[in-house]
Amino acid sequence: MEAYKVKTHPLTGDLIWQLTYSQSDFALVEKFIDENYYADYTISFYDAITGATLELANKVSEIKDNIAELVCKLSCIEHTFVHFVGINSLSESYVISIDFSRGNFRLPCTCKWENGRII
């Protein structure tokens, strides 16, 4: 049994996996992207508290092998886990929802994943 619930966005019909807010979610984000792969999509981290986003400038194809590491690192910085991962076909991005509660990022913002770091 998988540790997520499959849902669809009420307006777009895009796929969403609601996760369990646990450490296993990092691998599930990677699995979701593998199973629903669009090389030219980007990643948006949605702040479940404010509704603002941290946008990654990288295309998913550039960071595909490091997605679990990226999500884990961002979650560790913010001391949180993932609420959901989904597709936004309108913005051609994957949306990963977490709580940005530590103030380490000024949202909204655009960052880049480079050499194992968010810059």
| pLDDT tens by residue, 21-55 | 888 899 999 999 999 999 999 999 999 999 999 99
pLDDT at 23: 81
pLDDT 10s digits, 80-98: 999 999 999 999 999 999 9
Region 96-119: what's the mean pLDDT? 94
For residue 85, the surrounding DSSP H or E stretch is strand 84-88
pTM: 0.94
Q: How many helices (H) and strands (E) would you count in the chain?
A: 3, 9
pLDDT band at 79 (very low <50, low <70, confident <90, very high): very high
Using DSSP, state whether 67 is helix, strand or coil: helix
